[in-house]
């Protein structure tokens, strides 16, 4: 029986068939709900297990760890003397400094996925890592809060390209039902390791008076140097897109590269990059689903970033010492990492996305109520565990939810840019809803975070109803989804 044709432009790719190199037209591939993407004429399941991209995810995670530490180290520096020396507690200075970072971060994020594609991940991502490392070193020598705000803008500009570029790159390598485990490996590893930055910051703050510099200055200087070293490592080891994988040093052979391309094409038929055109890149803006994904991510990051930036200050407000507050950041993130990995296995194994996002939103609501309204500090701290797991732990499921339900390289690039861009706006919102003058309960921030989680629940419910309806139409032959016959939405 002839395989159904894909409803997409014809493209060619190299692949091996029964030991011979041949041209295979993408139009000859059949997409079927029953198709096992692990079945391959060249690689057995045992040999496929060897092609695990530890290097791809590992290097990206290392860079992202560095970016997270550099992004949130201001909260550790704040309780290590920065607030006092630069008078950041006056008015809304602290919140404004965080907001200036996210303003720049948000504006420049849409360029991240495009420049990753045009310049290549190795050159682009390692260069911006070096640049923000240099700016971070400079932060250790500022004497006014205005200078600090200016350098945070530069760091925001340079960091803006990393997350959309990394998310886009990862989405081109894996099939839809491998993605949540991979995103969790990338994001979860980075977040858990990044949480240790609080302990690192505490240790660096003990260098107080070394070379006549305050301890908070050493936090910025040493972590900036680490960023520059990380840039060199990423330039040497980072790999590019699947079609270029055989060119990376000591990574994949041509045959292994061809296997990756075949596997992705069996899943969704978009392994090969389409030629760039601005009209094609902007066309997904007409798809309302793209903006719903972005709104969900905005709500997730509003809660997640607000907790990340203010958690050390909140813990000090609970009565913990500065040292204890730096260390108490870590356990909630370890708990979150465990929750994320369990959810990733369940999500990919049973092919569910929306219910996991909804569960995390409810989890976050419970944690917010405990932290905001209970009078016992141990109970409030337990609430922190629940909030971090439900809010920041929702990032991989939302990334996967979006990535599973779109097709095409440039649509994927546009969607990565809009999703992460709205995430940056969420960072601005998170900085503004939690204000220094609301210490110690931060009730306006608590109320705003509760509202965000209700919006997540409404959006996921709406998308799930639409996906169910659209899949019924596709399975009965009344509609072709995402330009590919046989494609169905994952919810």
pLDDT band at 482; cut points 50, 70, 90: confident
pLDDT at residue 139, as a whole number: 94
pLDDT over 60 at 228, yes or no: yes
pLDDT over 50 at 39, yes or no: yes
pLDDT at residue 271, as a whole number: 63
Write down all domains in the chain, each with its CATH number in brackets.
55-238 (1.20.1250.20), 280-490 (1.20.1250.20)
In degrees and rounded to multiples of 5, residue 22 shows phi and psi of -140, 165
87 to 73, 93, 143, 200, 318: CA distances (angstroms) = 17, 8, 11, 24, 22
pLDDT at residue 250, as a whole number: 76
For residue 29, what are its two tokens? 């591939």
Helices vs. strands in the chain: H and E counts, helices first? 21, 2
* Region 250-269 average pLDDT: 79
CB atoms within 10 A of CB 44: 10
Sign of the four-CA dihedral 378, 381, 387, 392: negative
Calpha distance 485→90 (Å, rounded): 60
Give the predicted TM-score (pTM) of the model: 0.78
pLDDT at residue 53, as a whole number: 63
pLDDT band at 218; cut points 50, 70, 90: very high
Give the chain's mean pLDDT: 82
Evaluate the omega torsion of the peptide bond into residue 440 and state whether it is cis, within 30 degrees of 0.
yes
* Region 254-272 average pLDDT: 77
The model's pLDDT over 445-475, given as tens digits with 9 standing for 90+, comes to: 889 999 999 999 999 999 999 999 999 998 9
Q: What percent of the chain has a predicted confidence (pLDDT) above 90?
A: 34
Q: Which residue has the tokens 């999500």?
A: 347
More confident residue, 25 or 377: 377
pLDDT at residue 436, as a whole number: 65
Three-state SS at 10: coil
């Amino acid at each position: 029986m002839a395989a159904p044709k894909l409803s997409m432009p014809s493209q060619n790719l190299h692949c091996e068939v029964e030991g011979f190199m041949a041209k295979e037209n993408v139009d000859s591939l059949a997409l079927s709900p029953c198709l096992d993407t692990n079945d391959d004429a060249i690689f057995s399941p045992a040999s496929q297990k060897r092609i695990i991209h530890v290097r791809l995810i590992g290097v990206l995670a290392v860079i992202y760890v560095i970016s997270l530490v550099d992004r949130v180290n201001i909260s550790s520096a704040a309780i290590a003397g920065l607030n006092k020396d630069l008078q950041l507690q006056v008015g809304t200075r602290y919140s404004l400094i965080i907001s200036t970072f996210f303003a720049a971060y948000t504006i420049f994020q849409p360029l991240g996925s495009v420049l990753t594609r045009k310049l290549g991940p190795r050159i682009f991502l390692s260069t911006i890592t070096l640049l923000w490392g240099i700016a971070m070193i400079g932060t250790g020598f500022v004497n006014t809060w205005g200078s600090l705000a200016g350098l945070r803008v530069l760091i925001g500009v340079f960091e803006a390209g990393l997350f959309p570029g990394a998310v886009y790159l990862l989405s081109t390598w894996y099939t839809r039902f491998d993605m949540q485990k991979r995103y969790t490996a990338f994001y979860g590893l980075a977040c858990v390791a990044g949480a240790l930055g609080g302990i690192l910051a505490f240790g660096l703050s003990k260098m107080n008076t070394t070379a006549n510099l305050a301890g908070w200055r050493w936090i910025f200087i040493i972590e900036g140097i680490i960023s520059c070293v990380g840039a060199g490592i990423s330039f040497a080891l980072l790999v590019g897109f699947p079609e270029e994988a055989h060119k990376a040093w000591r990574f994949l052979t041509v045959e292994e590269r061809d296997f990756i391309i075949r596997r992705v094409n069996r899943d969704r038929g978009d392994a090969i990059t389409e030629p760039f055109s601005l009209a094609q890149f902007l066309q997904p803006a007409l798809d309302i689903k793209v903006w719903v994904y972005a709104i969900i991510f905005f709500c997730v990051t509003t809660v997640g970033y607000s907790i990340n930036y203010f958690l050390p200050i909140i813990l000090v407000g609970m009565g913990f010492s500065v040292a204890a507050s730096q260390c108490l950041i870590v356990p909630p993130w370890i708990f979150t990492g465990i929750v994320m990995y369990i959810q990733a296995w369940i999500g990919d194994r049973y092919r569910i996305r929306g219910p996991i996002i909804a569960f995390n939103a409810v989890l976050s609501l419970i944690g917010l109520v405990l932290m905001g309204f209970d009078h016992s500090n141990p109970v409030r701290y337990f609430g922190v565990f629940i909030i971090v797991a439900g809010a920041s732990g929702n990032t991989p499921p939302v990334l996967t939810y979006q990535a599973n339900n779109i097709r095409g390289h440039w649509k994927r690039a546009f969607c990565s840019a809009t999703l992460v861009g709205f995430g940056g706006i969420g960072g601005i919102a998170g900085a503004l809803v939690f204000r220094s003058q609301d210490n110690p309960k931060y009730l306006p921030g608590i109320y705003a975070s509760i509202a965000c989680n209700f919006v997540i629940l409404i959006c996921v419910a709406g998308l799930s109803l639409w996906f169910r309806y659209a899949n019924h139409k596709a399975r009965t032959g009344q509609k072709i989804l995402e330009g590919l016959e046989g494609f169905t939405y994952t919810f």
